[in-house]
């Protein structure tokens, strides 16, 4: 028999969000909006297991993640999770990958095909910030990308899995004003042009790691903090084209667009593969503190999910991967390096920001309560409970039986012929029962756990035409 303890889950607290108007929350996610993903770095010795991390991401409504390798345990944990994954080939493998297509064939077989499609790998970052790699791996980059792509093609995976490589902003020679953006001249012919040509031909994106924090910390006397944090500010007019910038992030992205346009590759889309702001730093790391990190990341999420583009490309919505999921205690360098996480290894939030359109709208609504609509239930989170589909079927069945039996969940709708009988799967039925139990317990902490067989979600579960009660 399982033990259904009422233990406090550390993941519950952040969900106690003050949502007010629920209906408005679900209208905002248009297909045009940009997406938010997160970098799952693991340079630490105190992180939760990968399967717990998958649950954490689901609970937070995050459905895109970027890794720094192809770790077997991590890739297996993401199987059937519904979360899209970008993996990486580390810089150390670039010279081999560049010189030998049989190496990339074996690498793709062992590290990609083995997991796909159960694990929804959507991209491969070949190397990371290669131009600043002290081992000078730049000359291997494009040949390595081409070999990885050729190996994917042989397995018919090249349409589903895109190849790119994250650049640091330091690849630019000029970035201010944004319209003057240009790549470092010594990189243009050997690597930038061939890479952009490859990205265009393979329908891929340029990946960019952009940190307004670095620019701010180095020029805090010249750059306004409000401008760096997407807060209200007078803006900065680009002296080259007269466009007005309301934040430094947009200006950095446009500097890259300008640099690409100057080489006639302005059509290649850009994905922001890393951006973030540290919640702590050394005394000389100006601005590294939790309030600023919360402002930067929270406002960035709103900016990206609004779907608006940058002044140079107002119609191009951006996909952004936040850096990073966890504080990583084994990272070297200044204190900031170990403090980019949105979460502590305990899974407790370092600071509370919205991560989904629903949460953005919930937060905005809660700031302006409409008069006459505030009821006593207004402070309850709009959350549901669903079964963990990756859990062992035996245990899921035990938990389902408990919920429908002693647990007192309303299980009539999942009986044969009733409204929620279809889809007739263990996961769907268990989800229905767990949610009923959770709502009846007024979504109290620990009531959506079932010894790990269930987790909380912030969007209405979708199983056929079944409607999941919310308890309102």
CB of 12 to ligand NAG, least distance (A): 36
In terms of C-beta distances under 8 Å and separation of at least 24 residues, what long-range contacts does 283-287 make, across chains too?
Answer: 285/217, 285/334, 285/335, 285/336, 286/216, 286/217, 286/220, 287/213, 287/216, 287/217, 287/220, 287/225, 287/228
Residue 106 CB neighbours (<10 A): 12
- Of positions 5, 23, 134, 221, contacts ligand NAG by CB under 6 A: 134
11 vs 148 by CB, closer to ligand NAG: 148
CB of 87 to ligand NAG, least distance (A): 9
- Of positions 80, 99, 136, 392, contacts ligand NAG by CB under 6 A: 136
List helix spans (H) across 155-188.
Answer: 185-187
Return the closest-CA partner of residue 388 out of 462, 343, 449, 468.
449
3-state secondary structure at position 84: strand
CB of 136 to ligand NAG, least distance (A): 4
104 vs 382 by CB, closer to ligand NAG: 104
Residue 19 CB neighbours (<10 A): 23
* Radius of gyration for the alpha carbons in the chain, expressed in angstroms and rounded: 23
The yes or no reply on residue 92 touching ligand NAG (CB under 6 A) is yes
Q: Which of residues 103-122 bind ligand NAG (CB under 6 A)?
A: 106-107, 110-111
3-state secondary structure at position 226: helix
134 vs 372 by CB, closer to ligand NAG: 134
Q: Are 305 and 360 in contact (CB under 8 A)?
A: yes
Stretch that binds ligand NAG, among 32-40, 86-94, 122-130, 266-274 (CB under 6 A): 86-94
Token pair for 443: 């979504």
314 vs 393 by CB, closer to ligand NAG: 314
- Of positions 135, 170, 346, 424, contacts ligand NAG by CB under 6 A: 135
The yes or no reply on residue 139 touching ligand NAG (CB under 6 A) is yes
141 vs 399 by CB, closer to ligand NAG: 141
The per-residue DSSP string of 415-433 comes to: STTSTT--S--HHHHHHHH
Return the closest-CA partner of residue 213 out of 295, 270, 301, 133.
295
130 vs 363 by CB, closer to ligand NAG: 130
The yes or no reply on residue 102 touching ligand NAG (CB under 6 A) is no
Token pair for 18: 């003050």
Active site residue 274: yes
List helix spans (H) across 109-247.
Answer: 141-154, 185-187, 193-201, 212-218, 225-228
The yes or no reply on residue 70 touching ligand NAG (CB under 6 A) is yes
Taking the CA atoms of residue 47, residue 215, residue 296 and residue 57 in that order, the dihedral angle to the nearest 10 degrees is: -30
Q: Which of residues 310-329 bind ligand NAG (CB under 6 A)?
A: 314-315
Active site residue 129: yes
- Residue among 55, 274, 347, 358 flagged as catalytic: 274
Token pair for 119: 């694990």
CB of 190 to ligand NAG, least distance (A): 7
- Residue among 32, 101, 122, 129 flagged as catalytic: 129
Tokens 């070949």 appear where?
126
Token pair for 95: 């010279």
93 vs 229 by CB, closer to ligand NAG: 93
Stretch that binds ligand NAG, among 129-137, 166-174, 377-385, 398-406 (CB under 6 A): 129-137
Active site residues: 129, 274
- The site for ligand NAG (CB under 6 A) is made up of 69-70, 89-93, 106-107, 110-111, 133-136, 138-139, 314-315
């Amino acid at each position: 028999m399982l033990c259904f303890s009422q233990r406090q889950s550390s993941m519950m607290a952040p969900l106690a969000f003050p949502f007010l108007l629920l209906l408005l929350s679900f209208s905002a996610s248009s297909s045009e909006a940009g997406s938010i993903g997160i970098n799952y770095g693991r340079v630490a010795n105190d992180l939760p297991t990968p399967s717990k991390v998958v649950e954490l991401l689901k609970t937070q409504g995050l459905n895109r993640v970027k890794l720094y390798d192809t770790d077997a345990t991590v890739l297996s944990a993401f199987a059937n999770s519904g979360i899209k994954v970008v993996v990486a080939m580390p810089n150390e493998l670039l010279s081999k990958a560049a010189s030998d297509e049989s190496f990339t064939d074996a690498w793709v077989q062992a590290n990609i095909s083995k997991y796909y499609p159960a694990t929804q790998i959507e991209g491969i970052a070949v190397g990371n910030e290669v131009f600043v790699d002290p081992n000078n791996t730049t000359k291997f980059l494009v040949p390595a990308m081409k070999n990885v792509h050729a190996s994917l093609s042989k397995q018919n995976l090249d349409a589903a899995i895109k190849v790119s490589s994250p650049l640091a902003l330091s690849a630019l020679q000029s970035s201010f004003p944004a319209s003057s953006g240009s790549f470092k001249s010594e990189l243009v012919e050997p690597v930038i042009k061939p890479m952009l040509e490859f990205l265009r031909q393979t329908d891929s994106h340029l990946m960019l790691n952009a940190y307004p924090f670095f620019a701010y910390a180095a020029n805090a006397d010249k750059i306004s903090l409000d401008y760096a944090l997407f807060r209200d500010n007078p803006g900065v007019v680009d002296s080259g084209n007269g466009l007005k910038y309301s934040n430094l992030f947009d200006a950095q992205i446009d500097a890259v667009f300008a640099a690409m346009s100057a080489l006639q590759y302005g059509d290649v889309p850009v994905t922001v593969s890393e951006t973030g702001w540290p919640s702590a730093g050394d005394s000389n790391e100006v601005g590294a503190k939790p309030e600023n990190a919360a402002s930067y990341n929270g406002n960035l999420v709103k900016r990206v999910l609004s779907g608006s583009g940058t002044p140079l490309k107002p119609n191009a919505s951006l996909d952004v991967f936040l850096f990073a999921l966890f504080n990583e205690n084994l990272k070297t360098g200044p204190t900031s390096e170990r403090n980019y996480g949105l979460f502590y290894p305990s899974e407790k939030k370092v600071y509370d920001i919205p991560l989904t359109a629903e949460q953005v709208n919930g937060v905005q609504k809660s700031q302006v309560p409409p008069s006459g609509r505030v009821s006593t239930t207004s402070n309850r989170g709009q959350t549901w409970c669903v079964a963990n589909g990756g859990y062992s079927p035996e245990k899921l069945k035990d938990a389902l039986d408990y919920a429908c039996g002693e647990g007192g969940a309303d299980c009539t709708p999942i009986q044969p012929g009733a409204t929620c009988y279809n889809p007739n799967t263990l996961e769907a039925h268990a989800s229905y029962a767990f949610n009923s139990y959770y709502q009846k317990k007024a979504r109290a902490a620990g009531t959506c756990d079932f010894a790990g067989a269930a987790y909380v979600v912030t969007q209405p579960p979708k199983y056929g035409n079944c409607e999941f009660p919310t308890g309102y």
